[in-house]
Amino acid sequence: MSEPRTAVVTGASSGIGAATARTLAAAGFRVVCAARRTDRIEQLAGEIGGVAVECDVTSRESVAGLADAVGGVLHVLVNNAGGAFGSDPVASADPEDWRAMYDVNVLGTLHVTQALLPALRASGDGLVVNVGSTAGRIAYEGGGGYTAAKHGTQVLTETLRLELCGEPIRVSEIAPGMVRTDEFSLVRFDGDQEKADAIYQGVPDPLVAEDVADAIGWIATRPSHVNIDELVIRPRAQAAQHKVHRV
């Protein structure tokens, strides 16, 4: 029997990352679950027969440890670690929030991609999937720091695809809209559950993490010559960033 193909998922401790790790494992990948919270990824890795590696994507040293743990060959990298911090207008936003969002959503993706590119190359059939956002396509009030960062994720992805053209590595971005996860909005609003819940108030069936994971699994299982450049995925109730049906 041939060795299973290997996938790395960052931010695998919850939400889209954890769901993606499960989906890729079900598709036959050996999944390296990377995140800061070791208790969670150890449990997940145990459940899916994968490997847990503690990793803070904003630290190059920590990412070097991830690359060591992965070894010489990698087939799929899902750069999922990211997040939004704060929702203040440009006039009063905290620059530290903006810095933190750029750090994790853009530089984190850069660090991990740089560290794992040699192993992706060595596979002879590599794939990078960056988890962007519809916030990387448009602006909205109070979203300045996050939209700027996710536009950065989008441009990084596009640039990488241009630079790797001719190599056996595909480069994709998935850009989800409204996804109800346990943590995204709670983190954004600094633990304020009421504010977090209000985002999804009355929205019939926002996406859940498994919907996005399912799409990532689809991207990762296309034939090698098929590159899904970008995939925008929203709930039916969200026709555009500001156009949300609520009941």
Active-site residue numbers? 146
Of the pair 126, 136, the CB lying nearest ligand 8X3 is at 136
Work out the number of other CB atoms within 10 angstroms of the CB of residue 149. Answer: 30
d(CA 141, CA 154): 20
Query: Which of 8, 63, 74, 135 lies at the binding interface for ligand 8X3 (CB under 6 A)?
Result: 135
Cβ distance to ligand 8X3 smaller for residue 26 or 139: 139
Q: Is residue 153 close enough to count as binding ligand 8X3 by CB under 6 A? A: no
Of the pair 47, 205, the CB lying nearest ligand 8X3 is at 205
Range in contact with ligand 8X3 (rule: CB under 6 A) among 62-70, 130-138, 190-198, 218-226: 130-138
Q: What share of the chain is helix, strand, coil (3-state, %, to 5)?
A: 45, 20, 35
DSSP bridge pairs for 31: 7
Q: Are 11 and 80 in contact (CB under 8 A)?
A: yes
Selected range binding ligand 8X3 among 5-13, 116-124, 164-172, 174-182, rule: CB under 6 A: 174-182
Helix (H) or strand (E) holding 127: strand 126-131
Angstrom distance (rounded) from CA 54 to CA 65: 9
Q: Does 133 bind ligand 8X3 (CB under 6 A)?
A: yes
Q: Which residues bind ligand 8X3 (CB under 6 A)?
A: 133-135, 143, 176-178
